[in-house]
Structure 1
């Protein structure tokens, strides 16, 4: 049986390698290009340089869009983690209408982003709420709320009820039980959900285009630049964003890992 499985294993390894090449090799092109001079689409591989990174540091439009993206991302994280944790606590307590609550939370995330964005745009117009970074934060929060909510709810359901019951039996109030027992156990899930929420907010384009005002976030700015072509400093931006994204993925994976597995590593 081992001999018969060997060709299958080799085939699966080959398919995995091909998929990895198709997915990740295109990312190497802008990263490598960021360290060489590119003229009329041709890179001069003979002279490494940091000129693209220097140009990026002097590109006020890109830096302004990046600042707006960071503001939106951090604001979205604060709102989504706060609201998502409260909703998860309510659901875990088997509050009335928990099933309906879960449906409402997941609906904007499961719908196509263009539908979610259009619905928000129509709502903001009906209530005469001017479009700005505030509306972008609201749109992103509605979109990523399901991720934080589900992450925290899953951790709450894995928490032993005997811990909470023991805390209450020993005379602790419900607030003390939450602060000293529940919160330390769900803090990792909250942090992991925050990282995932930030990553989704950083990348969101369709909803942002529909609800943004005069200030552009980085994805919207790059979307507009596609018509005219990218300057060499965008290669440097791609390299930095990719490195930042990898770090976020590693952090999220570690925070969402069970405590016993983190201790083993």
Structure 2
């Protein structure tokens, strides 16, 4: 390796380190600050404690907003998963007319600016006489995340050999039995990936939620409102907990995907 190559590699490593620092440095800083007090804009380094975590357990407004966020995210991702699976499997098993139009309807809310999607849904619910609530927020999230799950599932279904479906039918299996025993196991990795991506987007969605939320705010809206007066120390503790849970969930998902690949090849 020449000197020029070593210098180039060192520069690339330095650049990569700076990128990782910018990406993960703020998150690490939030976790560190969750254990210390901040007085007059300065960190009191000799005040290490779990006081902020204990205060978080008694912060009813933050916990309520977090509960609303988890309820909306879990419900919307579950419904979107069922709808995406049903539509994708219906489109895959045969020559279905209008597939391009259906996919256009599915993908359009995701590619449109969030403000357009939010206003459109708000006007629709007003015309239907539906009051804004967590239900309308969940509908908005379903409209957004279903495209992600549908695309991942459809890609996996298109890679599925038609001969497997035909063999299942020749053995006397009906449509649902074929889906449950032949198709669904091969969709597990796509479903896990789609669910994780959809859950991340739902937890982070703010603009569409802003237009559709009623009197029960989600966590992003609650944090948005707190920006005017400043964040309380419990927010650092909350962010640390969310980061830990997210990291564990992502690791579990990665392990499940890694295990599913050899099993599928075998």
TM-score by length of structure 1 reads 0.93
Whether the aligned pair in 2 keeps the contact of 1:192 and 1:251 (CA below 8 Å) is no
Whether the aligned pair in 1 keeps the contact of 2:118 and 2:140 (CA below 8 Å) is yes
Matched, 1:193 2:194: yes
The alignment covers a number of residue pairs equal to 263
Map of 1:165 onto structure 2: 166
Once the two structures are TM-superposed, the CA of residue 256 in structure 1 deviates from its matched residue by 4.6
Counterpart-to-counterpart distance in 1, 2:19 and 2:67: 34
Whether the aligned pair in 1 keeps the contact of 2:186 and 2:264 (CA below 8 Å) is no
Counterpart-to-counterpart distance in 2, 1:188 and 1:41: 46
Map of 1:63 onto structure 2: 63
Map of 2:42 onto structure 1: 42
Whether the aligned pair in 2 keeps the contact of 1:189 and 1:255 (CA below 8 Å) is no
Map of 1:117 onto structure 2: 118
Counterpart-to-counterpart distance in 2, 1:218 and 1:85: 29
C-alpha offsets along residues 146-199 of structure 1, whole Å, 9 cap, x if unaligned? 111011111112222221121112222222211211112113322332222122
1:1-265 aligned at under 5 Å gives the runs: 2-3=1-2, 5-93=5-93, 94-257=95-258, 259-261=260-262
Whether the aligned pair in 1 keeps the contact of 2:133 and 2:215 (CA below 8 Å) is yes
Whether the aligned pair in 2 keeps the contact of 1:192 and 1:255 (CA below 8 Å) is no
Whether the aligned pair in 1 keeps the contact of 2:36 and 2:45 (CA below 8 Å) is yes
Once the two structures are TM-superposed, the CA of residue 255 in structure 1 deviates from its matched residue by 4.3
Once the two structures are TM-superposed, the CA of residue 247 in structure 1 deviates from its matched residue by 2.2
Following TM superposition, the consecutive aligned residue runs of length 4 or more in structure 1 with deviations greater than 6 angstroms are: none
Q: Which runs of 5+ in 2 are unaligned?
A: none
Of 223-232 and 6-15, deviating more is: 6-15
Counterpart-to-counterpart distance in 2, 1:21 and 1:142: 35
Q: Which runs of 5+ in 1 are unaligned?
A: none
Of 94-103 and 224-233, deviating more is: 94-103
Counterpart-to-counterpart distance in 1, 2:201 and 2:122: 20
Counterpart-to-counterpart distance in 2, 1:50 and 1:252: 30
Helix, strand or coil: the match of 1:49? coil
C-alpha offsets along residues 121-149 of structure 1, whole Å, 9 cap, x if unaligned? 11111111111000000000001111110
Once the two structures are TM-superposed, the CA of residue 6 in structure 1 deviates from its matched residue by 3.6
